Amino acid sequence: MTDIVANLIGITIFVLVIGFSIAFHEWGHFTTARRYGVKVTEFMVGFGPMIWGKQRGETTYGLKAIPVGGYVRMIGMFPPPKDAPADMVPTTTTGRFATLIEQAREQTLVEIGPGDRDRVFYKLPVRRRIVVMMAGPFMNLILAAVLFAVLLVGIGLPQVTTTVREVVPCVPTAANPFGDEVDGACPTGSEPSPASSADIRPGDVVLAVAGQEVQDWDELLSTIETLGIGDSAALVLQRGEQVLSTRVTVAEAEYPVLGDDGEPTGQTESRPFVGIRPDSAYVPLSLSEVPVFMWDITVQSVKALVTLPVRLVELTSDLITGEERDPEGPVSVVGVSRIGGEVAALDEPLKAKAAVFLGLAASLNLFLFLFNLLPLLPLDGGHAAAASYEGLRRQWARRRGRPDPGPVDTARMLPVTYAVASVLLVSGLIVIWADLVKPITLSG
């Protein structure tokens, strides 16, 4: 029962995190549009039926039922037809519209009141339109940077240490690969490990091996591997407030040889063996390391975006054929929230849970930033690309002494916009369905 409550709490927290990320994104659009004088009639988090709404000034703020996105409604997103009068502002919409483009443009113009003619989005200078559209994604980038900084500097990353988490009781053999005891003793053919014979205990901190101080696990491991099998080496340990010295005789253990795919090849190799397994601790990073870490995550996210269409096809195939789902495949907000619930229910310290939550939230916001940069309508990057094209077209006309070609008629791109939106909707539904019927879990 406690696990169920913790799981529900984790899901609720992550849904709130997603909602805040969406709201922060839309707030970027909202504040810059208002700053440049554009009239904003709606600020919504979510899609579908309205759960809550409030009119304040000229803007309606609301929360809708499906928290998979949001929007800010600005008047005058589409310009009037090129040959229309500059002050064309119809007050009604009548007659039969020949095309979807005309309907959308007419509806946009209907929203413009007599006092709003200079408060429309399409009249903004190109640079300001780009700022308005890019402000949303950059809010996600800022939020990702803050969350990564809190994670890396405030908590840190888990790193293995020289603290002993577990002492392996027996020297591993082919018949006993994990070095376990059987009925309180090492099985036939397996000897007690050097660590257990030397009375090394969980919680001991290894300070030095064979007279050489060790600062981390890699250094400890490399020092042990330089010893010969059968050599006797002194270990300096800290146990509580005491500093102790003991000796171990390095044993020989057979380890499986792994291939490039990480799977055993069936061969084994002999290595020096002492019999200690390390503990891990969260080690904070410096603030200067945050950009480097974010860049690495950004590169991985870009690769994931590039391969997203292929991964969606593979996911659809796995759902149809019943194959196991790729744990590295796409995950929806439903799946991420579900993982957040699992994290909350884990039997782990609060710091470990907080680290996973922060990592998930930061990675989500970084991905939202990158995804919205794609130059496709209806994404923010698509609107910014259209504005950039308009600016280039005007500069080209000016240099050639031609008349100003005017704003780019993005209404003509509506068929493409709806096609892209339909693909995104279907893709989202596929991933959501996969997260419901075949979810990715922490346990695999």
pTM of the complete model beyond 0.75 = yes
How large is the C-alpha radius of gyration of the chain?
Answer: 30
Distance CA 244, CA 230 (A): 22
Distance CA 326, CA 440 (A): 8
What are the pLDDT digits (tens) for 341-371?
878 777 778 888 889 889 989 999 999 999 9
What dihedral angle (degrees, nearest 10) is formed by the CA atoms of 291, 292, 298, 301?
Answer: -130
Q: What integer pLDDT is reported at residue 143 of this predicted model?
A: 96
CATH architecture of 158-283: Roll (2.30)
- 3-state DSSP call for residue 237? strand
Domain ranges of the chain: 2-151+362-437, 158-283
Q: What integer pLDDT is reported at residue 129 of this predicted model?
A: 94
Distance CA 172, CA 195 (A): 13
Q: What integer pLDDT is reported at residue 422 of this predicted model?
A: 86
Express the helix, strand and coil content of the chain in percent, nearest 5 each: 45, 20, 30
Q: Which of 26, 106, 342, 390 is catalytic?
A: 26
In this structure, the strands spanning 242-249 and 251-258 are: unpaired
Distance CA 104, CA 90 (A): 13
Per-residue DSSP letter, 238: E
Q: What integer pLDDT is reported at residue 81 of this predicted model?
A: 66
pLDDT < 50 regions, the chain: 1, 86-98
Distance CA 19, CA 383 (A): 23
What's the start-to-end Cα distance of the chain, in Å?
22
DSSP notation for 357-400: HHHHHHHHHHHHHHHHTSS-TTSHHHHHHHHHHHHHHHHHHHHT
Q: What integer pLDDT is reported at residue 2 of this predicted model?
A: 62
- Catalytic status, residue 58: no
Token pair, residue 220, equals 């400890």
**CB 274 within 8 Å of CB 194:** yes
Q: What percent of the chain has a predicted confidence (pLDDT) above 70?
A: 92
Q: What integer pLDDT is reported at residue 347 of this predicted model?
A: 74
